[in-house]
A and B are shown apart, each in its own frame.
Chain A
Amino acid sequence: MSEHDYEELGLKVGLEIHQQLDTEKLFCRCPSMMVEGSDDEILRYLRPTASEMGEIDRAALMEAQKGMRFRYQRPKEATCLVEMDEEPPEGPDEEAIELVLKLALMTGSSIVDEVHFMRKIVIDGSNTTGFQRTALVATDGEITLDGKDIGISTICLEEDAARKVEAKGKEKVYRLDRLGIPLIELATDPDIRSPEQAKEVAQYIGGLLRATRKVKRGIGTIREDVNISIAQGARVEIKGVQDLKMLPSYVEMEVERQLALLGIKEILDKRGSEVSKDIHNLSDIFEGCNSKLVASSLEQGKGVYGIKLIGFQGTLRGEEGEALLGPELSAYAKTAGVGGIFHSDELPAYGISAEECDAVKAEMEVDELDSFVLVVDKEEKAVGALENVMERAEMAFDGVPEETRNALEDGSTVFLRPLSGGARMYPETDIPPYIVSKDMLDDMELPETLGEKVERFHEEYGLNKQQSTQLFRKGYDILFEDLVEEGVDPSVATNTFLHTFNELSREGYDTDKLSDEQLEDVLMRVENGEFAKEGIPKVLTLAIEGKSIEDALEELGLGSVDEDEVRRAIKDIIEERKDFVEQRGMGAMGPLMGVVMKEFRGKVDGKEISRILREEIQNRCG
């Protein structure tokens, strides 16, 4: 990937951070917990309703077009009638309200006088009601990071959605345990100017949230949506980034994608390209086709339908196979319920022959600089899909369309829906407004600021500013303090979270996989002298690979060496070198230390070895 001057490109990035709170659910008194399995399932449909402004939202409509059916799993431990939309919601959880107000104060935001919960229409099935309850609590805050101000435009309190278990065809399965867990949604202004800064801001805000000590930790408990635009491009929202470390990749790849689309716009303008409106039935050409998909589809009475994109050659897929317009057209086709498309920049392939391609070109009069797109399905569906393809192809003349895209794990994204407008909300009339009293805000105890924390860490634990800041950004400041309170040596803990974790990451180990409990277990064992701190990296490596700490120690032969064994080995070594020892006396300490450490590194603490060695040399020399 080429290096860009992001400032020159006019890169603007804003983050929307969603953090689960560690309280009861927002609108019922169910515990906030994830559950395996389910007691029961219910089947539901959702229909779009007009918004308060009287229009049915275009994003909502597009989802409805899909005619989806939803099955909801409802484990008893974590759900009640509220999650099933069988009972009105109860008032918002007080603790959650208090937390969001704290965050508002911590970021210097202006808090509203009355919090009004709204219904945000979401009919992808992730909410049984068909809407997400959300309230705007504060606006216009600011954080300062490395001397740069980042505006906090809004802070909201909302309910988390149900989690998707599987999707097949027209049916999606969700589990309701996650539905209703309180989320703080914090949105920054588009003040971020580089991919790396996106990560830093996210880490900093994550630190603020954790400082309240009432947020959930672990994979999936904090999720980011990223808004990205470049000067000539358009605002694109990438939804559902779970791994903060990947934020820079998403920004970089979106910039690449927008640049590519702008390049395509130029090519299309230059060629005077256009989208042909004729849909051709090309089924006859594909009789006896080697593609299993095509052959079996034709057998089922489906057909092959195609359109011509005049002057689009090379814009669907690049010469080096890079994805350009192709995936975008395909995503639009899929919203009509088809499996995907074939297009000329990738054919012949997939069992479709060069002869068949030539016949298609002849039939539709596709010239050298033109492209064609094929869809295989029943006529009605295929026509719908191709109309969607035409719609998206037309949008290519304008460069980058505003849209919402789903984050994929590899840093790329896929089209989800057009960017939704502001007309998706109406008041949640089942929940009375929450009155924010001035007294309540005045009495609220806020967690210390980062500056205060740095100072205190220096005084109490001897950490320097950089170490404290790093612990905070990486999200280990709280755990650090908890462990030190348990008795862990501050320098061992700092070293593990900063130095060791960096090394492990460089070697490709994902340190996020380590739970707080595992880390506590390892560091306490070191503190109790079960094994030496030098063994920490190896133990953590095995723990990341999925082993229990107990098994890791056994595999490494750690923690099983007792003092007698060490003393015996040291005696043997001294015996072997008795002349040297008798000659040098305590001067033999240094050289012998190296020999003993070679045998016990990581298994026994160096200090311990040094003590025993000293004793044994003294014994020997009298």
Chain B
Amino acid sequence: MTSDSDSNDELPYGSLIDLKIEDRVYRGVLMPSHRFSQEDILTLKLDNGYNIGLKKSDDMEITVLEEPKDIHREEDKPKKEEGLPKISILATGGTIASYVDYHTGAVHPAQSAEEMIYANPELADRCVPEVDVLLSKLSEDIKPQEWEMIAERVVEEFRSGSEGVIIAHGTDTMGYTSAALSFLLEDLPGPVVLVGSQRSSDRPSSDAHLNLLAAVEMAKSDVSGVYVVMHQDLNDRRCSVHLGTKVRKMHTSKRDAFRSINCEPVGWIDPLKEKVELKELPDRKDTEPKIRGGIVKDVAMIYVHPGMDEKVILQTSGSKGVVLIGTGLGHIPTDLISSVEKITDDGTPVVITSQCLYGTVNCNVYSSGRKLKEAGVISGRDMLPETALVKLMWTLSREEDTRAIMEKNIAGEFSERRWV
């Protein structure tokens, strides 16, 4: 794979050159610049493997010794074992579905199924992987319409005989997508498993591999529903299984960033020992999966804070719905309540959730809560703010009474009892 991009001096990357600066000669392969390099720097890979940056100058002489070599990658085509279950793996991007660019060392989203399988050939020992790249996006760039597209593909995969569907996803917004799929998919015959990786797959210590193997085990299990599978703790030992509507990324970088909020994980997987331990979950069934409803993206989410101006609330008036992330039990500054009332009076649904994340919203305890309730605000109970946002987007696509659906437990987004 030679690079078709050229350096700004028209010398193609990968050329072996002698670079003469004054009386000193550096021999090395011309590499693309580091993304934070200065503009006037040439990056050279020396024979000892090191890259160095050298300043371009007029009296520098370059002699090309060799044209770029083709870099071939040894790709063992995974052999397909008979009798193993067919599992679909849909890549959407992110660290888990990324591969190393061998020219720059940078990590890019996988562009093809081969690139996806390349790093994890062991998948083929556990299932017949049907890999497809749906998107090559960092998860912060995934849009609500794409949740619908992913859901449609999941339905197709089950219809074409897959026993489970794995969605490799960037971790930043994996919780949003898992919530969206939880609401959008109905009558799932088997499990839909979202999986990601916190530590990049270009490092031998990446969590991608263990997470992916655990996701395969989950996808083969006897349950149905939408789940997220990620490292349980900092050990490469077990992964936790989280319900798609109750899971949140709680750390910027640690591999155990994903946590079930207001409930325990619904299962644990030791992929190396192929042990799967699940709580009581819906069984696999012989049903025809389908999409229910859609996504109305025009919903605003407001993080309430002391001294917040009423403008922030009022500017949502064009939205189809609003999620407030209030303080404590679900409060906002008293002087903002009248603004909220203006929104609700227009018929726009407003849902209140809590910045505490842990615990439930309760509008009956303090006067500010009672006033919000009187203003027609819907309690998000112990739903995560992000889940509430996704649920409201989904609910708005349906004909029924928004409040009634928002208050109904559709996909396990409410814990009826909380004991953690």
Contacts and interface: CB of A to CB of B under 8 A. Distances in A.
Interface in B17-75: 24, 26, 34-38, 41, 43, 45-55, 71-74
Given A49-B100, A113-B41, A424 B203 contact: no
A503 interface: no
A394 to B, nearest CB: 24
B137 to A, nearest CB: 19
Given A129-B204, A432-B34, A433-B36, A54 B255 contact: no
B205 interface: yes
Contact of A86 (B71, B119, B254): B254
B106 interface: yes
Given A43-B237, A47-B209, A49-B100, A88 B253 contact: yes
B203 A51 contact: no
A572 interface: no
Contacts of B53: 112-116, 433
A100 B358 CA distance: 49
Given A113-B53, A115-B53, A131 B255 contact: no
A131 B203 contact: yes
Please indicate which of the listed interface residues A54, A86, A135, A156 has the most CB atoms of chain B within 10 Å of its own CB.
A86
B282 interface: no
B35 A429 contact: yes
A429 B38 CA distance: 15
Given A53-B71, A85-B205, A129-B204, A112 B38 contact: no
B203 A110 contact: no
Interface string A76-107: 00000100111110000000000000000000
Interface in A196-240: none
B205 A44 contact: yes
A54 B102 contact: yes
A435 B49 contact: no
B204 A48 contact: yes
Given A43-B235, A44-B236, A429-B106, A85 B48 contact: no
Interface in A31-68: 42-56
Contacts of B72: 54
A498 interface: no
Contact of B43 (A86, A116, A131): A116
Given A53-B102, A86-B254, A116-B34, A44 B235 contact: yes
Contacts of A134: 50
Interface string B195-209: 000010111111001
A255 interface: no
Contacts of B48: 136, 154, 422
A362 B295 CA distance: 80
A115 B209 CA distance: 32
A205 B51 CA distance: 25
Given A85-B203, A432-B34, A52 B234 contact: no
Contact of B34 (A112, A121, A427): A427
B408 interface: no
Interface string A544-574: 0000000000000000000000000000000
Contacts, number: 144
A112 B102 contact: no
Contacts of B253: 81, 86-88
B342 interface: no
B50 A116 contact: yes
A343 to B, nearest CB: 35
Given A50-B100, A113-B54, A433-B36, A130 B105 contact: no
A54 B73 contact: yes
Contacts of B235: 42-44
Interface in A1-58: 42-56
Interface string A120-146: 110100001111001110011000000
Nearest to A82: B253
B338 to A, nearest CB: 44
B336 interface: no
B319 interface: no
Nearest to A45: B236
25 contacts: A43-B235, A44-B205, A44-B236, A45-B236, A46-B205, A47-B204, A48-B204, A54-B1, A54-B72, A86-B255, A87-B254, A114-B38, A116-B34, A118-B51, A123-B204, A129-B204, A136-B48, A136-B51, A140-B24, A154-B48, A425-B50, A425-B51, A427-B104, A429-B106, A432-B34
By Cβ-Cβ distance, the 7 closest A-B pairs, closest first, are: A130-B204, A114-B53, A432-B36, A426-B105, A425-B49, A136-B50, A427-B105
Given A113-B53, A116-B52, A426-B105, 19 more contacts: A42-B235, A45-B210, A47-B209, A49-B202, A50-B102, A52-B102, A54-B71, A54-B72, A54-B73, A86-B254, A87-B252, A114-B37, A114-B55, A130-B203, A427-B104, A427-B106, A429-B106, A432-B34, A433-B38
Interface of A: 42-56, 81, 84-88, 110, 112-116, 118-121, 123, 128-131, 134-136, 139-140, 154, 156, 422-429, 432-433, 435
